Structure 1
């Protein structure tokens, strides 16, 4: 089943007198439960694509559909509600709130959902358990390692049971060993929880953990590979 679909999507920006087109009439389908990685030179539209799929930005033309909802037709208010219920975002630099505990950081997205306190607690505890941090729920970001902070960020991304998780360089700020641990965690969440993932990375080894790898250059997809493992 197709979960994410981009149809003839284009996006341009003005930079001085120059017009930059990071996405030029691109189309893409991502199936439910699929793990897709996206590579390409800097400035080629990888993060732009994530922002379009997540409704943070709008295309100049084309259509984006996620789980049957045409995201490009939603108003700003509708987009906020849709994003809270359907999309998780993993950042490169964690973006945790330093004055909140791991539990409280993970709980934040659930505050936008119509859940009881007991339901929120259950989701937060399950998310922290899924990333191996059930015993660190009362720790503040300053009390966690970089890898643990990223695990909290991942738990926050999955706590609302989103339709799709987008990840922008999720291992970019980590050392090699910690990066490998996060890669394994993302693979496990994809396989065991059937979480659909779209990940941007500059690292070909990280890209290879996905079931499908795309390369974006000069506004077009120029390569597509399917993992053999």
Structure 2
């Protein structure tokens, strides 16, 4: 059974007098440990797909199952708890809290889970080690490079041991050299830690680091490529 299962998922929005349907009867399976990249022109449903998987938006039709849980059937309060325990997020602009150190930024998801202090320290230390930033643990975001900030964001995304890590344009704000470093890191974390990843990107070269690339256009998957 797939870790992530979407069946007949549709989602529409009203924009003035117009109805926009970014997702039309979408089916998708993502296996545990798989790395999937999602491409497509702007406005074709990529962000909407991430949002319905994570429970930020509810689909108009269809079902979404992640780790055996019917996400679109959860109440708002249960959904927030489920999201904190099972989903990690990597953002394009890092979204670090400037008054917190790298360590404290990474620790935040573990506080939401109310883990014991010793377990929090263990997880944060291991997450920072996984992204190569143990020596920057006490640095604030302003003291880090853009690439280091993104590494902190990645550590924060994996610290709670989520079922799925969702990455929205994770290299979009980085220069080419730093982008390649982050791509290598994401590939390594996927392979070495068996982290399931779903990444949105507009860059075809970045998309190729995933084991499978999907192209979303006008609400449908129109192409799928297996790279390894």
* TM bin (shorter chain): over 0.9
1:68 maps to 2:61: no
Matched, 1:128 2:128: yes
The Cα shift of 1:112 comes to 1.4
Once residues 62 and 102 of structure 1 are traced to their aligned partners in structure 2, the CA distance between those partners, rounded to angstroms, is 39
Runs of 4+ aligned structure 1 residues displaced above 4 Å come to none
CA distance, structure 1, for counterparts of residue 119 and residue 176 of structure 2: 36
**What's the counterpart of residue 197 of structure 1?**
197
Deviations 1:108-152 (A, max 9, x none): 000111411010010000000000000000000000000000000
Q: What is the Cα deviation at residue 193 of structure 1?
A: 0.3
Tell me the residue number matched to 2:84: 84
SS for the counterpart of 1:115 is: coil
Aligned length: 228
Residues in 2 aligned to 1:37 and 1:25: alpha-carbon distance in whole angstroms: 19
Paired position in structure 2 for 1:155: 155
The residue that corresponds to 2:59 in the other structure is 59
Query: Partner of 2:208 in structure 1?
Result: 208
Give the Cα–Cα distance (whole angstroms) in 1 for the partners of residues 55 and 150 of structure 2.
Answer: 23
- For 1:115, the equivalent position in structure 2 comes to 115
Aligned-residue offset at 1:11: 0.4
User: What's the TM-score, normalizing by structure 2?
Assistant: 0.99
Q: Deviations over 1:71-125 (max 9, x none)?
A: 0000111011101110001000000000000000000000111411010010000
Map Cα deviations across residues 133-173 of structure 1 (whole Å, 9 max, x no partner): 00000000000000000000000000000000000000000
- Which stretches in structure 1 are left out of the alignment for 5+ residues? none
Task: Tell me the equivalent position of 2:173.
Answer: 173
Q: Which residue of 2 is the match for residue 139 of structure 1?
A: 139
Q: Under a length normalisation based on structure 1, what TM-score does the superposition of the two structures give?
A: 0.99
Taking the aligned partners of 2:98 and 2:181, their CA distance within structure 1 comes to 23
Partner of 1:118, secondary structure, is helix
In the TM superposition, residue 36 of structure 1 has moved relative to its aligned partner by: 0.2
Runs of 5+ unmatched residues, structure 2: none
Structure 1 counterpart SS, 2:96: coil
TM-superposition CA deviations, 1:153-209 (whole Å, max 9, x none)? 000000000000000000000000000000000000000000000000000000000
